[in-house]
Amino acid sequence: MDQAENLRNIIKKENAVPKHVSRVMTVTSGKGGVGKSSVSVNLAIALAKRGKKVVVLDADFGLANIEIMLGIHPKYTLADLMFNGKTLSDVITAGEGDIGFISGGSGIREMTELSQAELSNLTARLRKLDSVADIIIIDTGAGISGNVMEFIMSSSEVFLVATPEPTSITDAYALLKTLGRRPDFIKERSSIKLIANKVVDTNDGLELYSKLSGVSEKFLDIPLQYTGAVPFDANISRSVMKQVPVMISYPSSPSAIAIEKIAESLMGDMNVDPTRVDRGFAAIFKEAFTRAKVRG
């Protein structure tokens, strides 16, 4: 039995489906500086405005991009839930726009050293999040590090943020190429959606999608979907300086309006994909770290 088949058997055996599961959106990028975390936070706020209970997990472990953008300092992090006996309610911090926020903190390396019983116990506690949140947005680190790829591999709805810059396109393609080379990647189970960020206009976003989807489908056999585009907007930088998301600080700005449109489009398919609906955050989290343990 090869490693990939062994992993699939472990995941199939260990994952249990709760009665209610959250829709999980994993937001990632091939490189830093493309506005990935800004998209995550502002999209969360736009979805919360539409009556959804949204929680953002900062999975860029050891860094603090999301909490800086929100201007908050969480008392506890996901590491405290893992290792220090804190409850899920302890580690969820209230953020702007009625969203919840979980800081990843540190301790990711120790996660791969948990026994299967310890991981199962942690996953059972995380299922409570599935019961209270409609949408969970996982903001990964940038690039193709092991932690990033484990979350992407385990997620059934991935949002790839890229800009029209050649380096961003190249790095986004490198991420997709790395994904396609993984023997345990099941492309039929994953929906990868492009968000074109910092574009000049709508045509700029569509051109970016055409370039990236063309090479991805031709050379990697990985299809991409187009979610929408967010224009370059100086208000984004101003909002970061204020530590107040652009959806709150400049709600009428071009970027905020574009994110509203993306959120509205996502509301239209809230319960379309049964494989996505049936998984939820706890199953994705457990699968990500089961993969890490199997891969060594």
pLDDT at 84 over 60: yes
Has residue 192 got a pLDDT over 80? yes
Backbone angles phi, psi at 85, to 5 degrees: 75, 15
- 98-109 pLDDT, tens digit per residue, is 999 998 776 555
Q: State whether the Cα torsion 20-179-61-34 is positive or negative.
A: negative
pLDDT surpasses 60 at 258: yes
Question: Which amino acid is residue 55, in one-letter code?
Answer: V
151 vs 252, residue with greater confidence? 252
Bridge partners of residue 230, in order along the sequence: 197
At residue 129's C-alpha, the angle toward residues 31 and 47, to 5°, is 60
Average pLDDT over residues 146-159: 85
User: Which residue type sits at 236?
Assistant: I
pLDDT of amino acid 269: 67
